[in-house]
Structure 1
């Protein structure tokens, strides 16, 4: 292990320790209970950035452990990533680290507000700087907007299906936007959008083969 990697690993462990105890959004009244969900270590070459943890992840502390995670594993299997290696081969994080709760009168999860995302942003900034991923997959529009420059001016249909090259402090890395794999997402009901997902997964698989990612 190089000195730089060892230093990053130690710093990430400390950041994760502090993150595990974060209660900012609960104290601000945005959520009922602070229970940050994330997973990974320094040295992970691939990172998944979602919007926020789901209800099951909130209960068991495991990211993407609900039905959306089942869909995500199936998607990634199509790109050549074995489902049984899913949890160990990616760094998992999100814009906000705690379950935001359900939308009133709906089965869907509430999207974290801009204020919540701002409170949580330093954690993601720290994770990115210490993990230094070589590939990022974003899930959902909000995650893409946070990591792809200019994404706020584009619709999800203009983002999905394309590999975006993003300049970061450790180089230029590919970012692959995908929709959130939620069963309540109407976006995925459109065959045109499903074709965009297929294209994105094909390109993700090509990155895995060509660059070992």
Structure 2
């Protein structure tokens, strides 16, 4: 490991410890449920960014656990990417790091507020800076809005890619069972395009 790689590894370890110990949202009165959930190291070429951990992610301390992970890795497997390899070698994080609890309607998790997103944003920015991924996959509207104008609907976004700061951004829809978007046939065709784009970058970054 080079000195630069060692420095990145050390800085990322310190950042991850800070995320695990963070209580900023609780100090502001938000009812959240630590610990912060993320995985990966500083040599990743791909980074997924979700909305926030769900309850199963919080309990397992593993991003995209259970149903949302099954669907996400079903998509990635069609791009030639194996789940075990991805989880151990690539980076997975989210816009906010802790489980936000259930929504007031009782159906689905609460969407983190703008203030919570702002409190967590320095962590995400630092993760991106240190990991320096070549491809970012934002999953769901909250993550997609980091890169695409909020006025655009998902049908105008899924199946496209953007180059941002020398990195490629390839969005996917929310993979949770609560979402019905990915169950519509014409939307599935857009997801197919995203999968093809991810596959192209995977083959370039990890040639067989």
Interval of TM-score (by shorter of Structure 1 and Structure 2): over 0.9
What are the equivalent positions in structure 2 for 1:68-79 lying under 5 Å apart? 68-79=68-79
Q: Which residue is 1:200 aligned to?
A: 194
Q: Which residue is 1:175 aligned to?
A: 169
When the two structures are superposed, what TM-score results if normalisation uses the length of structure 2?
Answer: 0.94
The alpha-carbon distance between structure 1 residues 14 and 182, as it changes in their structure 2 partners (threshold 3 A), is same
What are the equivalent positions in structure 2 for 1:43-192 lying under 5 Å apart? 43-146=43-146, 148=147, 150-167=148-165, 172-192=166-186
Task: Give the distance between the partners of 1:105 and 1:209, measured in 2 at CA.
Answer: 43
Q: CA RMSD in A?
A: 1.5
Cα deviation for residue 62 of structure 1 reads: 1.1
Q: Which residue is 2:8 aligned to?
A: 8
Cα deviation for residue 42 of structure 1 reads: 1.0
Task: Give the distance between the partners of 2:22 and 2:204, measured in 1 at CA.
Answer: 39
Residues 49 and 92 of structure 1 are in contact (CA less than 8 Å); yes or no, is this contact kept in structure 2? yes
SS in 2 for 1:152: coil
Q: Which residue is 2:23 aligned to?
A: 23
Deviation sequence 1:128-154 (CA, Å, 0-9, x none): 1111111111101110111x2x42232
The total of aligned residue pairs comes to 207
Task: Give the distance between the partners of 1:123 and 1:134, measured in 2 at CA.
Answer: 19
Cα deviation for residue 45 of structure 1 reads: 1.3
Cα deviation for residue 7 of structure 1 reads: 1.0
> Which stretch of structure 1 is more off in the superposition, 123-132 or 184-193?
184-193
Deviation sequence 1:78-114 (CA, Å, 0-9, x none): 0000123231132011110001111123331111111
Q: Unaligned regions of 5+ residues in structure 2, if any?
A: none
